[in-house]
Structure 1
Amino acid sequence: MLGIMLCFLYRTSLSQTHRQITTISRIPLHLVFVSVQNQNSWLSVKYMSTTSNVSSFAASYLINTCGFSPEKAALASKYLKFKTREKPDFRIEFFKKHGFSETQVLSMIREVPQLLRLNPEKNLLPKIQFFKSRGILCSDIPKIIGSCPNVLRRSLEKQIIPSFDFWLRLFRSEEKFIKVIKRYSGILFDLDTYVVPNIKVLREVGVPESNIVKLLEWHPQVFARKHDRFKEMVAQVKEMGLDPMMAVFVFAIGTMASLSKSSWIKKADLYKKWGWSDEELLAAFGRYPQCMTVSEDKIEKTMEFLINEMGCESSTIARNPSLLGMSFNRRIVPRASVFQVLLSKGLVKKLSLWQLFFPSENAFLKKFIMHHENEANELFRLYQAKMDVKG
């Protein structure tokens, strides 16, 4: 549907710390989306407010042991009132004892400093034991917890267990579900606040259960979005004319949720630089939403090669946007190189992008290399050489 606008909803609160979404602002698609001093080997941190000796020690510990920046250490130390290394060291060793690497432990602490004050026996161990009781491998538990360390601060009985059972019923596959929570265990809490209401919205607009599971598999974080914002994203995607019954509908929601407004604008402007109109950008997003998650460098490199080296029309690429999700070095360049040799020898005529880049590798080799017996060795060497190019 041409000319449809996407919206980003913003409201800036007059409070010091909160920003809430309130009003719909319609814009074109391309607009959617301390100081440290080291003196005599003592580290001195300049705090933003007056701190006690207890906080000073905690801040020093966070900087020297956990790799915090001085600014973040100053803030976190207000909630960590330990006077010696004994308690925080004990918690770090607890995690290591249960299969976490030092890198994983320190990464979790930097994300959630409050882990250093949780009681290992009362708060941490029961959750690890729960995952083990559900048949999860010990080697997978650090990945599950590390994907969202805040799960350790949530109630096992009131949040984690009910959420675990809820998702398992929806998935009907323990193996698939475990893969998802290894990516983002944040779906194991806030079930009634965000998850259930957000799923209800998808069901109300006609999204099949199988596609709800697909969205969870590819973009689990989207289910933790605030309900109002989630409703708005669903409405925006529906307004674009995408069919809720199709998988592309949920992929579009996941893509929108993963992009900041500034990132969306930069990528949209880059596509427009290469000749896409607002209508073509909208149509491309509807066909392949992931075109907006491709890095700016890859967009630039792929468009430049296809347009300037291969002579493709910009509008042709817009009609085949999934090209941008293909490997540049291991698919686009090797196949294009073989095609250009064949074209120069008059062995092939101009082909569509679909015929060249979309077949499987075996189908490509059979049609474009093995079919030309006299040139097969030369073409295969060229193909392999291009495949081996790094960068």
Structure 2
Amino acid sequence: MQNFLLSMLIASKLCRKSTQLGFLPQNPFLAFNSFTCKTYSQLREDSFTVSYLIDSCGLSPKAAIHASKSVRLENPDKPNSVLSLLRNYGFSEIQLSKIVKRRATLLVANPEKILLPKMKFFLSIGISNTDLPKILVSNPQFLTRSLNKCIIPRYRVLKSILFNDEEVAQTIKLGNWCFTNLRMDNIVSNVKLLREVGVPQRSISLLVTGYPDVAFFKHAKFGEAVKTVLGMGFDPLKSSFITAINVLGKLKQPVWESRLKTFERWGWSREVALSTFKKFPFCMLTSEEKIGKVMHFLVKEMGYTSEDIAHIPNVLTLSLEKRIIPRCSVVQTLKSKHLVKNDMRLGGFILLSEKQFSECFVSRLETTLMVR
């Protein structure tokens, strides 16, 4: 009878925490009925686990109840040592809460044998104290995978491709999911193909560190992108070759064709569109809505031709509200006062840095307004 009453008390406590979020029925007898298959000891551990996840890890009651399905804590000793280790390696309380929410089983890992060696390894290859918590929160699998059987062998493959730890660290930082989940033989085959067509090491490093998701593509898909880029006339010795592979690898064929049709509607022939892609491949990643808005403003309202834009396609990636419209307004005002040439090219002011534009145009306008 005593055990029955204690079990009822624990079930009621769990119920009170969860009913705030509508997770369990408010009646503790109904809650207890759902736990009848559990022993008193299990109920007690469940209650402690949920309380610990809320009080020590900062999880919400709903998140704590969900996380308690994957881990059961008997006492605070081991989870306290895990949290202490993570704090010593720069984890904030918010980061601790996030990583526990995503991988609660880390709380029962051996901090000295399982977690600490991995933390030391990542720091040893150049990952900073600031970046390490961000990487591990983003991908807790780093702390659950074997150091000797998974992480170090994969690191060695990247090191053989990139040759220095700084670039390996950058790849892990940007492509941590690729590093732990995708097959390494793909990146090895992809890099081998690039070397066969004459791509220099600096461009290979650009691909792996800058676009790791593309570097890890399945080899057949990657090979198609390389073949297409070569067919378009890109020079393997230039970095634009890698940029084009990145863009083509991310765009499905129907989307690619739709982008071309969008440009055609604004007066570009297919040849002009492809030539523009060679000049600035990122223009094809611009959404059709953004292309339409920029083209409409520059062509319909400002009087530039679509050919003017084809000469500087990177304008399509600039912010319409924060850069294009304000700068055009300043230049139009200066034109109206005959302070700049009426036939000034778009590239003559739209691509300047903020400092250059301010010195060349804004200060001139301010001076004029002050004189008046």
TM-score normalised over the length of structure 1: 0.66
Would you say 1:342 and 2:322 are equivalent positions?
no
- The question of whether the paired residues in 2 share the 8 Å contact of 1:68 and 1:110 is answered with no
Letter in 2 for 1:358: L
Q: What's the counterpart of residue 9 of structure 1? A: none
C-alpha spacing 1:136/1:294, structure 2 compared with 1 (3 Å): same
Q: What's the counterpart of residue 115 of structure 2? A: 124
- The question of whether the paired residues in 1 share the 8 Å contact of 2:21 and 2:62 is answered with no
Give the superposed CA RMSD. Answer: 4.5
Tell me how far apart the structure 1 counterparts of residues 351 and 231 of structure 2 sit (CA, whole Å): 30
Matching residue within 138, 146, 154 for 2:145:
154
SS in 2 for 1:150: helix
Q: What's the counterpart of residue 16 of structure 1? A: none
Tell me how far apart the structure 2 counterparts of residues 254 and 380 of structure 1 sit (CA, whole Å): 49
Q: What's the counterpart of residue 325 of structure 2? A: 333
1:314-362 Cα shifts (integer Å, max 9, x gaps): 2432332111233444542333223212322344131222223234455
Q: What's the counterpart of residue 301 of structure 2? A: 309
Superposition pairs of residues 184-333 of structure 1, within 5 angstroms: 184-186=175-177, 188-189=179-180, 192-259=184-251, 271=263, 274-295=266-287, 298-333=290-325
Superposition pairs of residues 94-133 of structure 1, within 5 angstroms: 94-108=85-99, 115=106, 118-133=109-124
- The question of whether the paired residues in 1 share the 8 Å contact of 2:243 and 2:281 is answered with yes
- Compute the displacement of 1:202 (Å): 1.4
SS in 1 for 2:137: helix
- Compute the displacement of 1:307 (Å): 1.8
- Compute the displacement of 1:253 (Å): 1.8
Q: What's the counterpart of residue 5 of structure 2? A: none
- The question of whether the paired residues in 1 share the 8 Å contact of 2:262 and 2:288 is answered with yes
Query: Gaps spanning 5+ residues in structure 2: where?
Result: 1-17, 26-34
- Compute the displacement of 1:311 (Å): 1.3
Query: Gaps spanning 5+ residues in structure 1: where?
Result: 1-37, 46-50, 382-391
1:117-160 Cα shifts (integer Å, max 9, x gaps): 65444332211011233454322311233343333333322443
- The question of whether the paired residues in 1 share the 8 Å contact of 2:125 and 2:165 is answered with no
Q: What's the counterpart of residue 22 of structure 1? A: none
Would you say 1:144 and 2:135 are equivalent positions?
yes
C-alpha spacing 1:380/1:95, structure 2 compared with 1 (3 Å): farther
Matching residue within 330, 334, 347 for 1:354:
347
- Compute the displacement of 1:249 (Å): 1.3
* Structure holding more strand per residue: 1
1:183-223 Cα shifts (integer Å, max 9, x gaps): 23346456742221221121122211111111223212222
C-alpha spacing 1:204/1:44, structure 2 compared with 1 (3 Å): farther
C-alpha spacing 1:127/1:263, structure 2 compared with 1 (3 Å): farther
Letter in 1 for 2:296: E
Instruction: Tell me which moved more, 146-155 or 316-325.
Output: 146-155
Would you say 1:43 and 2:15 are equivalent positions?
no
C-alpha spacing 1:275/1:263, structure 2 compared with 1 (3 Å): same
C-alpha spacing 1:114/1:367, structure 2 compared with 1 (3 Å): same
Tell me how far apart the structure 1 counterparts of residues 353 and 298 of structure 2 sit (CA, whole Å): 20
Tell me how far apart the structure 2 counterparts of residues 288 and 369 of structure 1 sit (CA, whole Å): 28
Tell me how far apart the structure 1 counterparts of residues 254 and 105 of structure 2 sit (CA, whole Å): 31
Tell me how far apart the structure 2 counterparts of residues 131 and 359 of structure 1 sit (CA, whole Å): 40
SS in 1 for 2:23: strand
Letter in 1 for 2:346: L
SS in 1 for 2:343: coil
- Compute the displacement of 1:310 (Å): 1.4
C-alpha spacing 1:111/1:212, structure 2 compared with 1 (3 Å): farther
1:233-289 Cα shifts (integer Å, max 9, x gaps): 222322333222221111122223445678667756654554445444333322212
SS in 2 for 1:43: coil
TM-score normalised over the length of structure 2: 0.69
* Structure holding more helix per residue: 2
- Compute the displacement of 1:82 (Å): 3.3
Q: What's the counterpart of residue 377 of structure 1? A: 367
Q: Whose Rg is larger?
A: 2
Over the matched positions of the two proteins, sequence identity in percent amounts to 35
- The question of whether the paired residues in 1 share the 8 Å contact of 2:259 and 2:288 is answered with yes
